[in-house]
């Protein structure tokens, strides 16, 4: 099976897939088998609408994001990985990097509008899910894990917000919390 967004093989060299003791051979059936399996193993989080509880000062006194600057956008676009994969918007990140000089100002306006209105566009929350082989039999659907491919717009905005937040809270994070500190991990603890 070939991922149409990258022209690369998804299922390694296998042209068929087994799921629930059924063999699937055409791309549509294989895609549906993956969708069924991934939705079966997905564990949704408990819905929490923190908007009402955090209306005024949940972290307001602790963190001030401010506005996004021109330099913030330029740096975030520069740091965007030039991946061949695409999200649901079908826009490859290398195109954004190549057109950066024309996109910085529209991104700047859009990101600041999002912050001002406290609305993150729904389309940026959507992902394209692709199967990634783990190990074992390549024809067994259960030997794959889902990879979520985000929109590059979402990645750029997330990069900017992460830096603004991290710079304000980095001194509040315990040095024992390696999972939250750059260049460290839970295994370096």
Helix/strand/coil for 105: helix
pLDDT at position 69 is 97
Left, alpha or beta for 12 (phi > 0: left; psi -120 to 50: alpha)? Answer: left
The beta strands (E) that lie in 32-151 are given as: 128-133, 144-149
* Segment of 25-34, 42-51, 68-77 carrying the highest mean pLDDT: 68-77
Higher pLDDT pick, 65 / 7: 65
* Token pair belonging to 60: 């307001």
Tell me the whole-structure pTM to 2 decimals.
0.74
CA dist., res. 29 & res. 26, Å (int): 5
Tokens 């999200």: give the residue: 87
pLDDT at position 65 is 86
In Å, how far are 11, 70, 104, 133 from 34, measured between CA atoms?
11, 41, 37, 12
Model confidence pLDDT, tens digit, residues 100-156: 999 999 999 999 999 999 999 999 999 999 999 999 999 999 999 999 999 999 999
Task: Give which of 4, 176, 154 is closest to 80, Cα–Cα.
Answer: 154
């Amino acid at each position: 099976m070939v991922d149409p967004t990258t022209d690369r093989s998804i299922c390694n060299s296998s042209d068929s897939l087994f799921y629930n003791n059924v063999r699937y051979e055409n791309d549509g059936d294989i895609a549906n088998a993956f969708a069924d399996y991934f939705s079966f193993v997905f564990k949704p989080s408990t819905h929490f609408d923190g908007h009402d509880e955090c209306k005024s000062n949940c972290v307001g006194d602790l963190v001030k994001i401010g506005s996004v600057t021109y330099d913030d956008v330029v740096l975030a676009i520069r740091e965007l990985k030039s991946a061949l994969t695409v999200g649901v918007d079908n826009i490859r990140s290398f195109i954004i990097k190549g057109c950066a000089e024309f996109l910085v100002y529209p991104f700047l306006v859009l990101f600041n509008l999002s912050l001002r209105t406290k609305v993150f566009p729904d389309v940026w929350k959507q992902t394209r899910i692709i199967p990634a082989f783990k190990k074992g039999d390549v024809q067994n659907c259960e030997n794959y894990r889902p990879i979520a491919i985000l929109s590059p717009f979402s990645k750029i905005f997330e990069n900017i917000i992460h830096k603004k937040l991290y710079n304000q809270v980095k001194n509040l994070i315990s040095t024992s919390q390696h999972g939250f500190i750059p260049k460290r991990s839970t295994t370096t603890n």
